Amino acid sequence: MHPSFIVRNVPVYGDLILSPMAGFSDIPYRLICREFGMAMSYTEVVSMDGILWKNKKTLNLLDFMPIERPVTFQILGNDEDKIVEACRMIEQLEPDIIDINMGCSVSDIAGKGAGAGLLKNPSKIGRIFNKLSSILRVPVTGKIRLGWDDKSRNYLEVARILEDNGASLIAVHGRTRSQFFFGKANWDAIAEVKQAVRIPVIGNGDVKCVADIERIKRHTGCDGVMIGRAAIGHPWVFQYKDRNQVASREKIELIKRHLSLMQAYYGHEIGVILFRKHVTKYIMGMPRATELRPFLVKCDSSDNIIEIISSFVDRVHKHEAA
């Protein structure tokens, strides 16, 4: 079997990837998505300071299972030397790839020069990647946006700098930082990046359904597709299924298993609390889901969640049969 693309010396079999998303891209959900066909794992993004301070919560975000390989650790920061030192530290945890986040649009992060804030300083990006590609054994990659705003769309300059300084892959979100997640993602720009560099390019932005996967591939020529919000509560997208193609009973069974994985990993109480944001995504698109959501976000036990969901689905089935 031939890999879909290769990140320097790391083969990737498959071309659909779950975006690194805080609070969602944890081990339990990554394991489910890998089972459904996701090609590689990105951890939730971690800060360079948390790593350097050896913050336990930060380092826990870098946990992974061997079955997830290839695994990419994603890091963000604004200080060249600290980013390099933090990457040297986390390389000892044996990821397959280390990715530098240059796309985070959160004001407290981007406004301080990290995440998308790095896009304001392409020469700094070049120095960071030159150092990292020189000292790390694992490939170094980058996730970018198109620029800070419409007046500074420097994605082609940044992409070429990344490649020239040793980056092994570029993931491109087709919006500027100032757009956040509003407006339409610019797939033309992703296509330009793909044509400008020789390393693999991952397309990201406005992939909302299965048909969008094929559309972004054709439009951009990208080597892989990164799916974010559309994959939350819907790992079936990695099987090329839309939400309306998944039976309610199948959703119930996966909700139970996902909840069980959360409790096994985080403990019973915390697992339930953290799962509540997932379960509200699983029921999106189901009839009268908005009526159910307020009850689910208050559940404090797995039995309550399953009871509410099961009785809801039973009522829906009875209504449909009437």
Burial 270-296, CB ≥16 within 10 A → b, else e: ebbebbbebbbebbeebeeeeebbeeb
State residue 321's pLDDT score: 58
CA atoms of 321 and 137, how far apart (whole Å): 60
Q: Which residue has the higher pLDDT, 292 or 175?
A: 175
In sequence order, what DSSP letters do the residues of 36-90 get, joined into one string?
TT---EEPPPEEHHHHHTT-HHHHHTT---GGG-SEEEEEE-S-HHHHHHHHHHH
pLDDT band at 318 (very low <50, low <70, confident <90, very high): low
Q: Which of 266, 199, 210 is nearest to 234 (CA)?
A: 210
pLDDT band at 48 (very low <50, low <70, confident <90, very high): very high
pLDDT tens digit sequence for 295-308: 888 888 888 888 88
The structure tokens listed for 224 are: 């892989």
Enter the pTM of the model. Answer: 0.95
Dihedral, CA atoms, 38, 40, 44, 47, nearest 10 degrees? -160
Portion of the chain with pLDDT greater than 90, in percent:
85
Over residues 150-172, the mean pLDDT reads 97
DSSP state of 92: T
pLDDT band at 145 (very low <50, low <70, confident <90, very high): very high
Over residues 260-274, the mean pLDDT reads 95
Q: Where are the alpha helices (DSSP H) in the chain?
A: 27-35, 48-52, 56-60, 80-91, 107-110, 122-135, 155-164, 187-196, 210-220, 248-266, 268-282, 289-296, 302-321
Q: Which of 17, 12, 9, 10 is nearest to 1 (CA)?
A: 12
The structure tokens listed for 25 are: 């891209």
pLDDT tens digit sequence for 237-251: 999 999 999 988 899
Decide if 25 contacts 62 (C-beta within 8 A): no
State residue 296's pLDDT score: 86
Domains of the chain with bracketed CATH: 5-243 (3.20.20.70), 247-321 (1.10.1200.80)
Decide if 177 contacts 119 (C-beta within 8 A): yes
State residue 300's pLDDT score: 82
State residue 204's pLDDT score: 98
Is 299 assigned a catalytic role?
no
pLDDT tens digit sequence for 55-96: 999 999 999 999 999 999 999 999 999 999 999 999 999 999
State residue 322's pLDDT score: 53
Decide if 236 contacts 246 (C-beta within 8 A): yes
Mean pLDDT score of the chain = 94
Q: Which residue has the higher pLDDT, 100 or 313?
A: 100
Number of Cβ atoms within 10 Å of the Cβ of 50: 18
Which candidate in 33, 104, 222, 299 is catalytic?
Answer: 104
User: Peptide bond preceding 66: is omega within 30 degrees of 0, i.e. cis?
Assistant: no
State residue 83's pLDDT score: 98
